[in-house]
Amino acid sequence: MNQRFPTHHPLFFRNTSHQSDFEKNGFVIIPFYNPAQINTLYELYYKLSPSNEIGFFPSTFSKDTNYRNTVDTEIRKTAEHIIGDTFVNTKTVCGSFIVKKPGNESEMGIHQDMTLVDESKWCGINVWCPLCNLTKHNGTLFVLPKSNRLIPTLRGATIPSIYQDGEVQSLIKKYAHPIYLKAGQAIAFDPSIIHFSPPNITNTDRVVTNIYLTHKDARFITAYWDKYNFGNFVELFEQPDDFFTNFEQFGNDIMEKPKMGKSIGKVPYQFPLLTADQLRKTYTTTKPIAHLLKKIFSYARTNL
């Protein structure tokens, strides 16, 4: 698997302007659930979800296999038609709840999501959709537009990130944009985009559903680095399509070698780092970014 960006994007969106915004910026805002579907999903959440969780809690982190599977099945069932109407050539791999319980522990720091496909050919899409309106108090998502195209990476809990430097992290926070979605609007984003979310400091759970999709022909692949033994190599594991729902190591022994999947060998990796200069150059000279967000949100206002 090469760490380079694809020369062309697979077609994912039926709407050509969604596809081109996604390609240009690494994300696009789309209409997703209607009010009845939001109610169905809230009922599911209150019926099934453990009440003793605190902080930031994705259902994929639960130790209860039945809970993970039921959430996955029901979210995918509720979204099935919208997904069919919105996307082409995709397979839906996992539906989950991502919850921020009230409190400062619910902050989610700067990150890119783990590698799940060969990104020199394919890409994944997270369809992240809140069931409530997002505000600056309840843990909205911030994204750094176009950051999925800054450096090609392999990612996973054991692999050092590209944004370790303190100044780099401050600049990411400075240039990132909050995405204030209304209940039922979704952001469809490339999982390699740099993103984060502040804590939910209201009194109510912030409930989001996330659905991960990728191209129907893409193999599911995860990456693992043993820092004592691998040097500049990373081991890749082919995973079954139910990886997300059946992987037991999230929120558990995530730093251990994957206990699921089949090793397909090691690839060289140089552990690249983002620099403050690269960020400044990209985000102070890329004037379209402010303009572009305005365009995206005016599209959202008129079309959603």
Residue nearest to ligand AKG (CB): 197
What are the tokens at 183? Answer: 């209940």
- Rule CB under 6 A: say whether 208 interacts with ligand AKG: yes
Instruction: Report the nearest approach of ligand AKG to the CB of residue 140 (Å).
Output: 8
Contacts 24+ apart (CB under 8 A), 45-51: 45/97, 45/99, 45/131, 45/205, 45/207, 49/97, 49/99
Give whichever of 182 and 262 is closer to ligand AKG, judged by the CB atom: 182
- Rule CB under 6 A: say whether 98 interacts with ligand AKG: yes
In 3D space, the residue among 19, 15, 11 whose CA is nearest the CA of residue 86 turns out to be 15
- Rule CB under 6 A: say whether 94 interacts with ligand AKG: no
CB burial of 117-128 (b: ≥16 within 10 Å; e: otherwise) equals bbbebbbbbbbb
- Rule CB under 6 A: say whether 139 interacts with ligand AKG: yes
The residue length of the chain stands at 304
Could you give the CA distance from residue 127 to residue 86 in angstroms, rounded to a whole number?
Answer: 11
- Rule CB under 6 A: say whether 155 interacts with ligand AKG: no
Give whichever of 14 and 137 is closer to ligand AKG, judged by the CB atom: 137
Ramachandran angles phi, psi of 86, nearest 5°: -100, -35
Interface with ligand AKG (CB under 6 A), residue total 10
Q: Rule CB under 6 A: choose which of 60, 78, 148, 210 binds ligand AKG.
A: 210
Could you give the CA distance from residue 73 to residue 87 in angstroms, rounded to a whole number?
Answer: 19
Contacts of ligand AKG in 6-45 (CB under 6 A) = none
- Rule CB under 6 A: say whether 60 interacts with ligand AKG: no
Give whichever of 68 and 100 is closer to ligand AKG, judged by the CB atom: 100
- Rule CB under 6 A: say whether 195 interacts with ligand AKG: yes
Instruction: Report the nearest approach of ligand AKG to the CB of residue 58 (Å).
Output: 7
- Rule CB under 6 A: say whether 96 interacts with ligand AKG: no
Longest alpha-carbon distance in the chain: 54
Q: Rule CB under 6 A: choose which of 53, 113, 118, 165 binds ligand AKG.
A: 113
Q: How many CA atoms lie within 13 A of 75 on its CB side?
A: 31
- Rule CB under 6 A: say whether 108 interacts with ligand AKG: yes
Element housing 189 (H / E): strand 185-189
Report the interface residues with ligand AKG, using CB under 6 A. 98, 100, 108, 113, 139, 141, 195, 197, 208, 210
